[in-house]
A and B are shown apart, each in its own frame.
Chain A
Amino acid sequence: MNREELIQYLQDKFQDKIELLDTGKVEPMFLIKSRENLVSFCRAIVDDPQLSMDFLCNLAGIDTGEHFEVVYNVASIRNKTRFDFKVVMDYDGAWVESIKEIWPAANWYEREVWELFGIDVKNHGNLKRFLLPDDWDQGHPMRKNWDAPDFKRMPEF
């Protein structure tokens, strides 16, 4: 399945759940229209033998300055295909559903997203710190508006 076929297949199969984004990148990027559909979408792309996306390459949080995003990069080792999808949400009440039951690799990535961005991960069950000190009490440092007494922002040149 080449890139165009993959895009066509995904759009046909999940037309009510996802939307193709024009990023100009090699891997197609999709937007999950509603974050409630995330888990069912992930389950479907793993179980579908045509797709068989068996490898979660990465899971990352983004603070764009206007809203949060959580980006998932998945690949199929068997079919040699890969694509990305993301969930967009507002600052208030930011949460995503955990997908660690589908890809166990998501476990630590989701903890990282929770720790650094403050995005709640529902049904994760083990949201513990591992990047920041145990007694960290200065908020979520990867947020755009984060600040701390000893944090120095690079001056504008």
Chain B
Amino acid sequence: MGVIKQVPAIVEKFPGGGIVATSLDWVLNQSRASSVWYLLFGTACCAIELMATGASRYDFDRLGMIFRATPRQADLIIAAGTITKKMGPRLRLLYDQMAEPRYVIAMGGCTCGGGPFYYDSYAVEKGINHIVPVDVYIPGCPPRPESLLEGCITLQKKIKKQKMQDWS
């Protein structure tokens, strides 16, 4: 990662190097945003909407998004469904195993803030931002596939604005 941080600085030293760095950013961001592979992680009813989004009617593939069953090959984790306190450490483990730069979408009311389990529940985590940093929140119970697509497009916009120096 240190080299990647250094590259723009080196390029900037050359006359007109800014153009090269910006173009490199653009190419990299375009390719990353157009092939966001997401981790298979659905825990409740939202996962059904996630499956519907992946199926032919809504067709996630047109955003270049395909699911991966291993965190090492995934850029994005869509936490789709209720995350309980018992599940929290596992979610964190999966997140930690993903390669950087990595992104998190919190899909649905339960994941965003406890949802219908906000009151009178000892088991449900009231928002996964207590466990992992969240990039995009998608409200709804459960959100329709259109909402998820909108969330993913929002994430793509975010990715396209990033610079190599921002990669942690």
Listed in ascending order, the chain A residues whose CB lies under 8 Å from chain B are: 131-133, 138, 141-142, 146, 148, 150-155
Alpha-carbon distance A150/B85, docked complex (angstroms): 12
Which residues of B are at the interface with A, using a C-beta cutoff of 8 A? 85-86, 88-89, 118-123, 126
Q: Are A146 and B122 in contact (CB under 8 A)?
A: yes
Q: Which residues of A contact B121 (CB under 8 A)?
A: 151
The complex places the Cα of A144 from the Cα of B25 at a distance, in Å, of 57
- The answer to whether B119 and A152 have CB atoms under 8 Å apart is yes
Cβ–Cβ < 8 Å partners of A151 in chain B: 121-122
Tell me which residues across on chain A come within 8 A of B85, comparing CB atoms: 132-133
Of A133, A142, A148, A154, most B-chain CB atoms within 10 Å: A133
Complex CA gap A148/B120 in Å reads: 11
Q: Which residues of B contact A141 (CB under 8 A)?
A: 122-123
Number of A-B contacts (CB under 8 A): 27
10 closest A-B pairs by CB: A141-B122, A154-B119, A133-B86, A154-B120, A152-B119, A133-B85, A151-B122, A153-B120, A152-B118, A150-B126
Contacts A/B (CB < 8 Å), 15 sampled = A131-B123, A132-B85, A132-B86, A132-B123, A133-B85, A133-B86, A138-B122, A146-B122, A150-B126, A151-B121, A152-B126, A153-B119, A154-B119, A154-B120, A155-B119
Nearest Cβ on chain B to A90's Cβ, whole angstroms: 24
For A155, give the chain B residue with the smallest CB separation: B119
Cβ–Cβ < 8 Å partners of A138 in chain B: 122
A134 smallest CB distance to B (angstroms): 8
Within the assembled complex, what's the spacing in Å between the Cα atoms of A131 and B118? Answer: 19
Tell me which residues across on chain B come within 8 A of A132, comparing CB atoms.
85-86, 123
A146 and B118 alpha carbons, distance in the complex (Å): 16
11 extra A-B contacts, CB within 8 A, seeds A133-B89, A151-B121: A132-B86, A133-B85, A133-B86, A138-B122, A141-B122, A146-B122, A150-B126, A152-B119, A152-B120, A153-B119, A154-B120
Chain A's closest residue to B86 (CB) is A133
Nearest residue, chain A, Cβ from B88: A133
